[in-house]
Amino acid sequence: MKKHLLAAAVVAAIAVPAMAQNVTISGRIGAGFVATDNSNGANTSVQDQGYEFATNILSISGSEDLGGGLKAGFTMIGTLDGTKGAVGNAANTASDGALFDRASYVELSGAFGSIKMGRTSDMLDSTEGYANHVNFFDTEAANIQGLGNKNENSVRWDSAKFGDFSMGLHYTSDATAVSSNATTAGTANSKNISAAVLYAAKELTVGAAFGQAGAPGNGGVGGAQLQTIYAGYVLPMGVDVRVQQTTQTAAGAGGAKTKTTEGSAKYGLGNGIAVIGHVERMNVDTTDTTDYSQVGVFLTKDLSKRTTLFTGYKKKDLKAATSVDATTTTVGISHAF
């Protein structure tokens, strides 16, 4: 009897602090197939991790009520590769090999909003893909020189809502580390800054964000810019319509501007089935070799609150006659935990 009481006391002593900190483990894992037919005949068909629906992640977070309206917490999120059983981007040699490559920060929140310190998304990264609904259509040019990314050594402030408005600021002292996206590294020690404003009232959402690489105090390094504007409206019949335009400007005088304009509509057909239509157009003002237009459709079927089947089709036509057009189809399953 005494042994049982002692064991119970030990378990309680361990469990109570964990409960007080409110630690949560969650995430998403998926798998699927992707087939791409290229106009030059170089077709591919591969098994992947179901990224076309949503990013696979492993998340560990916790919070503690400090009283007086203050809360402290932490969040750590790593990209989860279910096909290899790996977490983070260690396989990405162009990146920094972080285990929690998508987020790793401590947070203090209250009436002033929230302040995060560590690896956080900048304000552009938080708005990227607003008009996509799913990752399958995530092809827009939305990151440059560390902007539109998840950078380490950063500070982020998100305001509390005042009426239907909110805003945010983000600063990083080192945009070299590029977390999950290896194509957008900034110059060494690049100091980037970004800001955003959002209006969200019932069916209507309107927002904008702007980022500058090479913020004040950067010693003249950098200079690229990234900006986006977006809007969404839920029609009376339940159709979720979204539009977004993103412009990235390369560093230097007369830097090339890459503009992506896209729109989408999502509609629930009933019985857990939803359909998404998407159109997109991208152009660069200095050349047409990479300009393209794209149309696609995506279908989802919820088997439960956590499990979703999906399939999608998209066709990408490049403007230049020498470029390779592509038609992509996908099918897979995604599970949240």
Asked if the model's pLDDT at residue 50 lies above 60, the reply is yes
Which of 8-12, 68-72, 85-89, 244-248 has the lowest average pLDDT?
8-12
| pTM of the model as a whole | 0.84
On average, the pLDDT of the chain sits at 84
| Residues 75, 121 contacting (CB under 8 angstroms) | no
What is the phi/psi pair of residue 318, to 5°? Answer: -90, 145
pLDDT of residue 210: 96
pLDDT of residue 96: 56
- The tens digit of pLDDT for each residue in 112-136 reads 999 999 999 999 999 988 999 999 9
**SS3 category, 12:** helix
Which of 22-31, 70-79, 100-109, 249-258 has the lowest average pLDDT?
249-258
pLDDT of residue 95: 47
Which of 20-24, 272-276, 289-293, 299-303 has the lowest average pLDDT?
20-24
- Domains of the chain in sequence order: 2-336 (2.40.160.10)
Q: Shortest CA distance to 78 belongs to which of 10, 180, 156?
A: 180
Asked if the model's pLDDT at residue 187 lies above 70, the reply is no
pLDDT of residue 176: 56
Q: How far is CA 159 from CA 129, 196, 308, in A?
A: 22, 10, 33
Asked if the model's pLDDT at residue 20 lies above 70, the reply is no
Which of 121-125, 172-176, 326-330 has the lowest average pLDDT?
172-176
- The tens digit of pLDDT for each residue in 215-258 reads 555 444 458 899 999 999 999 999 999 999 999 988 776 788 99
pLDDT of residue 142: 74
Left if phi > 0, otherwise alpha if psi is -120 to 50, otherwise beta: which for 252? left
Q: pLDDT band at residue 185, thresholds of 50, 70 and 90?
A: very low
Q: Shortest CA distance to 175 belongs to which of 213, 137, 203, 128?
A: 213
pLDDT of residue 15: 47
